[in-house]
Every structure is written in C-alpha cells, then in structure tokens.
Copies of this chain bind each other. A is one copy, B any other.
Amino acid sequence: MPEHPFDQAVALTQVATADRLSRWRGATHSAYWNMVGPFGGITAATLLQAVLQHPERAGDPVSLTLTYAAPIREGDFEIRTHLVAATRSTQHWSVQLLQGADGEVAVNAIAMFAKRRDTWSACEAAMPEVAPAEQTPLQTVDAFPMAWLRRYSLRFLRGGLDDITTGPHSDSTSQLWVSDVPPRALDFTSLAAICDVFFPRIYLRRGAPLQAGTVSMNIYFHADAQSLTGVGADPVLSVARGVNFRRGFFDQAAEIWSQGGALLASTQQLVWYKN
C-alpha cells in the first residue's frame, strides 16, 4: 500500500476489461472524508486516476467534467472507464463511479486527453499579486469536523474560513496557498483534487451556515506532465469567486497557479444550495 494517504485514497485495482469498457475497484478513505461522503476533490482525482493508469491511455488530461449524482457511501465502489473515441493525438473517455448491489451511478464524468505540441503560448489571465506562502499564516482547522481539511495546508490571503460566519459579504473571492499534507509532489490527480478545495462561495455571500454541495465540476488542465514536475510539493495559489446565485444553484470559477506564475488549471463548479 502506498504511504501517502492521497495515494491510498486514489488507489484502484483493475477488475475486468471488455470491449473498451474497463472496471476498476476502489474504496473511500477516512482521511479524505467530508461531512456525509468523501471530499469531492478526492472523488474527481480517483476518476481521473482510473483513466491515467489505463493501459490504453495516451497523452495528458486536458479536460475533465464530473456531475455528482448521488452521495457516495463509506466503503467500496466501482469505476468504469470507456474509451469512446480516439485520434492519433486525442482520446475521449466516459467515466462513472458506481456503488451498491444495483450499480447505482454516483458520479457521471467525461474526460479528454491529448498529446501536447509546442506552439505559441500566452497567459491572458493575470495571477494576483499576493504575499508569498511562507509569509501567509496557516489556517487552523481544529474547529471543523471534516477530515479532508487536515490533508491540506491552507494559507488564506483573502476570503477565509474565518469569514464564513461573520455575516454577508458582497464579494465571494477567496485567495489561498494550498499544498498537500504531508507534502507530496503535484500531479494531475492532486491538481484535480485541489480544484475542489474551495468551500461553496455562498458561505461568504451569506456569512451564515446553510446547505450547499457541488453538483458539477469542470477542469481545464493547462499544466502538462513535465511542468507539474517543476512544481513539486510547493504550495499553489488557488483563487475562486462566485458568478451567479439563482434559484437553488450557483456557479463559481477558479484558477490554480504555480508559485512561478504558471496557470496550472482553470476550473468551474455548479453548486446546489438551500436557504
């Protein structure tokens, strides 16, 4: 068994393959438990891991989109990967997480992988100018019951956990430095998980407890395998803001930046809420 709890959590065993459909077995991990199910980020990472370790996988992930359909219970689950289309340089996958005797689908996802080429490149989005991670106080999470919070070092620059119970805010932006605990070199799976590290933006807007949960997450990977190696276990700057809160759902948009100023991923979520 791998040593790092992250690697334990995303570990999968291939069960069977038939007609481009592969089945993988995994299990929830107590270290990444949220309130009534696993941290959504570890679930995203696990579905991505199934494709990454597929013998037919070619290229790097460029997009991953998941919709969360049902709560995931503690224990075993199955992941099904299906390579639905491929060219010489791209692959299109369907991925699902199923649980229970009836094979209920708890997560429905699609992903695209591609071989990268050298081209003209430019980043139009601007990395915010913020204090470096080592000058930013570490957030204490003792007051929160969610186990997964203890698997990250969170250093909030703005819009932190202390702001979600202090009344409404008109701006729901959060900026924070994030790294795995214990330290772990960033890869595609941990980057996917970090894309879900943001608490629902409505906590800041309302400034009071309410029910909310991610129902859809979209990730565009800008980093390739080589540029991730350069990040190593350094903290990444994670920035999120709310977009529109309307009739039970809102969306939030986020970026994950390396310390060196490279945009590693852009990501969006649709979040269900009740008030």
- Chain A residues close to B by CB (< 8 Å): 62-63, 65, 67, 69-70, 84-85, 87, 90, 92-94, 96, 104-106, 108-110, 112, 114, 116-125, 170-172, 201, 205-206, 215-216, 218, 220, 222, 224, 241-249, 251, 253, 255, 263, 266, 268, 270, 272-275
List chain B residues, Cβ under 8 A from A116: 247-249
Contact among B63, B87, B243 for A266, CB-based, below 8 A: B243
Given A69-B84, A117-B247, A117-B274, 9 other A-B residues pairs in contact with their CB atoms under 8 A: A62-B249, A65-B216, A119-B245, A119-B246, A121-B247, A124-B245, A218-B218, A220-B268, A243-B263
| Contact across chains for B206 and A124 when beta carbons are under 8 A apart | no
Given contacts A94-B108, A124-B205, A251-B220, contact A63 B67 (CB under 8 A): yes
Nearest CB in chain B to that of A201: its residue: B124
Kindly report how many copies of this chain are found in the complex they form together: 2
Contact among B110, B268, B270 for A62, CB-based, below 8 A: B270
List chain B residues, Cβ under 8 A from A94: 94, 108
Nearest CB in chain B to that of A241: its residue: B124
Contact among B96, B104, B216 for A112, CB-based, below 8 A: B216
| Contact across chains for B244 and A266 when beta carbons are under 8 A apart | yes
List chain B residues, Cβ under 8 A from A253: 253, 266
Contact among B120, B247, B263 for A224, CB-based, below 8 A: B247
Q: What 6 A-B pairs have minimum CB-CB distances, sorted nearest first?
A: A69-B85, A65-B65, A116-B247, A69-B92, A63-B216, A218-B218
Complex alpha-carbon distance, A70 and B275, angstroms: 43
| Contact across chains for A268 and B270 when beta carbons are under 8 A apart | no
Complex alpha-carbon distance, A247 and B106, angstroms: 34
List chain B residues, Cβ under 8 A from A224: 247
How far is the CB of A234 from the nearest CB of chain B, in Å?
A: 19
List chain B residues, Cβ under 8 A from A87: 69-70
